[in-house]
Amino acid sequence: MTAAYEEKLVPGLLRTSWREGALTRIRELEVLSAWAHGQGEDPERHEGIIRATEEHIRRAREAVAHDRNSYRSFTGALFEAANSNCDAAEANLLRMAPNYFLLGQLPSLIAHVTRHLPEGDPRLQGLDELRTDLAIKGEGACTEQARTQLVALVRAASSEAGRELMSVRRFRNVLLVATFVLSLIAVTVAVAGMLFKDVLPLCFTPQRGAVVWLVCPTGEMSLASTPLRQAVAATTQPFDLLVVELLGLVAAAVTAGAGIQGMRARTGAIGLPVALALFKLPFGALTAFIGLLLMRGQFVPGLSALDTSAQIIAWAVLLGGSQQVFTRLVDQQAKIVIGRVRGARQIRQNAISASPA
């Protein structure tokens, strides 16, 4: 590692977990590549490979050492640059490593391949035969053809693993964008309620005995001697809509926390469960507001005249928690996307167990 890289990387230690993991992998690949190049009987033969490996390592270092950029972090460009270049450097290491090193890595390589390539993939057709030859014949089966076939399988599995992670990141990004838009709408509704409190009141007019009342989220007034318009102006408060949305948000937070308990925590999740929980917060706030608005418009039979402010608040909480019903499909899709990461497909246990120790 050059002094320039050291100076740039050391102050940022532990600032993000993926950078530290990538840096560790880069250093390991650098040492192993230099060692493998020196172990070969004809080092000049691998000069082109070692130069390509150094270039991949350099590109990976640049991605790790790159200054923080919100857009690149959001899209995952830096992570993909570091990960893909490390995968390429690892493949080059396998191309020039001694036969005994390749055989020693065989169990891990087969596990990696069978984890990320699906059953029935045509690239797996020759894997069983290759594994058997290497297990029986040992270094004698490490021909150039066998090495090339194994490297191709490893590269295919690494590419598939990268696509799995990127699919999670894309889904997470969609949720974050949707969360931002919904939050903007919720804030706009709350601000509009503060500025124009009597334009869209969430008030009801129940009848108690012979008297009709005006019931709002934070106040009540009898309409026996007060015209409706004046009563609305006097009873509604600037924070009525804000209170309703906050209650819906709190209820959504509770149900969101309970909903993601069953979601498996994986390294490859890349913050998807957190993004899913955040998505539900503004959704719950807007669900509470829209639900009460529909009830006020007599859209729900039998619930057109809530009797007290406490009932309005209770319904705001209930409607905010009901966002779980509307976001269930999003939950299911999130579980499917996370489940595809790191070999959620059935792993061929026979291939791993039959690998040489």
Q: For residue range 32-90, list pLDDT tens digits in order.
A: 888 887 776 566 777 888 899 999 999 999 888 876 666 667 778 888 899 999 999 99
Nearest by Cα to 270 from 162, 164, 172: 172
Of the ranges 174-183, 184-193, 194-203, which one carries the lowest mean pLDDT score?
194-203
Which residues contact residue 144 at a Cβ distance below 8 angstroms, ignoring those fewer than 6 apart? none
Q: What is the pLDDT of residue 136?
A: 67
What is the rounded average pLDDT of the residues 245-262? Answer: 84
pLDDT tens digits along 134-174: 776 666 667 788 888 888 889 988 888 888 888 888 899 99
β-partners of residue 211 are 208
Q: Where does the pLDDT of residue 349 fall: very low under 50, low under 70, confident under 90, or very high at 90 and above?
A: very low
Say what angle helices 144-195 and 240-259 make with each other, to 10 degrees: 160
- Residue 111 CB-half CA count within 13 A: 10
What is the rounded average pLDDT of the residues 320-343? Answer: 82
pLDDT tens digits along 233-248: 888 889 999 999 999 9
Q: What is the pLDDT of residue 351?
A: 38
Q: What is the pLDDT of residue 286?
A: 95
Query: Percent of the chain having pLDDT more than 90?
Result: 25
- Whether residue 353 is predicted with pLDDT greater than 60 in this model: the reply is no
How many C-beta atoms lie closer than 10 Å to residue 66's C-beta? 16
Of the ranges 71-85, 114-128, 129-143, 272-286, which one carries the lowest mean pLDDT score?
129-143
Q: For 222, list phi and psi in degrees, rounded to 5.
A: -75, 140
- Whether residue 177 is predicted with pLDDT greater than 50 in this model: the reply is yes
- Whether residue 224 is predicted with pLDDT greater than 60 in this model: the reply is yes
- Whether residue 115 is predicted with pLDDT greater than 80 in this model: the reply is yes
Most confident of 17-26, 132-141, 262-271, 317-326: 317-326
- Whether residue 9 is predicted with pLDDT greater than 70 in this model: the reply is no
Q: How far does CA 106 lie from the centroid of its chain?
A: 31
Query: Percent of the chain having pLDDT more than 70?
Result: 82
Q: Where does the pLDDT of residue 7 fall: very low under 50, low under 70, confident under 90, or very high at 90 and above?
A: very low
What is the amino acid identity at position 27? R
Q: What is the pLDDT of residue 338?
A: 78
Q: Where does the pLDDT of residue 123 fall: very low under 50, low under 70, confident under 90, or very high at 90 and above?
A: confident
- Whether residue 126 is predicted with pLDDT greater than 60 in this model: the reply is yes
Q: What is the pLDDT of residue 301?
A: 67
Interatomic CA distance for residues 237 and 221, integer angstroms: 13
Q: For 220, list phi and psi in degrees, rounded to 5.
A: -135, 155
Say what angle helices 144-195 and 127-137 make with each other, to 10 degrees: 130
Render 174-237 in DSSP notation, one character per residue: HHHHHHHHHHHHHHHHHHHHHHSTTTS---B--EETTEEEEEETTEEEE-SSS-HHHHHHHH--
Q: How far does CA 188 lie from the centroid of its chain?
A: 27
Nearest by Cα to 82 from 29, 160, 151: 29
Q: Is the pTM of this model over 0.85?
A: no
Q: What is the pLDDT of residue 355?
A: 39
By three-state DSSP, how is residue 222 classified?
strand
Mean of the per-residue pLDDT values of the chain: 81
